[in-house]
Amino acid sequence: MKPTPTERAAYVLREAFGHPYEQIAAVLERAQTNARQLVQPGAPAPGRRAAGAGGRGRAPVAARSDPYVSSLSGP
């Protein structure tokens, strides 16, 4: 099952940028509990992992080039 855009955003914010669930919940306008649940469906399918140790490699090209996502990671 393909993750929704919100699930993908939650996953990228958590795994690529390391944002806490509290901040993800605020950005996505969700409860913190919901933010935790959103991250799981956005995870890569078994057997497919992001580059780097622990699956925390560089963000996908689309995430790096999105000005909204870039603004969340700071300068």
pLDDT greater at residue 35 or residue 74: 35
pLDDT for the residue 1: 73
pLDDT for the residue 51: 47
CA dist., res. 50 & res. 7, Å (int): 16
DSSP secondary structure, 1-65, as one string: -PPPHHHHHHHIIIIIT---HHHHHHHHT--HHHHHHHHTTTSPPTT---SSGGG--PPPHHHHH
Over its C-alpha atoms, the chain yields an Rg (Å, rounded) of 12
pLDDT for the residue 31: 92
Whole-model pTM: value is 0.55
pLDDT for the residue 52: 44
The answer, yes or no, to whether residue 2 has pLDDT greater than 60, is yes
Span 7-56, pLDDT tens digits: 999 999 998 999 999 999 999 999 998 988 888 866 666 555 544 444 45
CA dist., res. 30 & res. 35, Å (int): 6
